[in-house]
Structure 1
């Protein structure tokens, strides 16, 4: 695996950036993105707090203390390190995403409506592509 050009992707309310876009190359000069998008997305979503959905669609609750989230949503830049994906060097995915803070415990978290966008943006960062170096 070698370091490649930066990659960025946007999905709905979330933008994601890899400053180093890792590529798998072969001796003939072809390269492709590593097939680890789902694993990276899973790790990101375990490291990035996502609010819990309240029953009957009445907003979100804090993932830490279960209190109702009443603060307004704001844009936040957040780096998320990824270290536990086999075959991928330690890397950081940088996000520009919506976030809200719990008034009771202070936890910053992604609203539930944006969790699918986080996953889709990460999958797009590692979408398969082929070409010549």
Structure 2
């Protein structure tokens, strides 16, 4: 098991233990709009590879001070303080790209209860799906 997979498994367990309350800023684009923004193969669903590609580009955009990490200010409400702490295994108050992508993977898996490896609009409308959308918007 790779370090990213191991971290994603830990974060997934932590994500399931956390209440899936979202900041007010999470009320953004609807599920179908998110799918159209992320679904590069136009199959009507989002897979983990697509979600991580968008998340990686978003991380690069958010990481404004060019120190290789994002903090709560740079995340702009996408992650609660409690979720940031849970996703920060080195407890430095920031997420590097690997940690951020592991959080995306954990939220993706939490939003995929049928474990088919894809998320459709219905799954994105669940609390777990909305938590993922809050990271990708």
TM-score (norm 2): 0.31
Greater strand proportion = 1
**Which of 1 and 2 has greater Rg?**
1
Greater helix proportion = 2
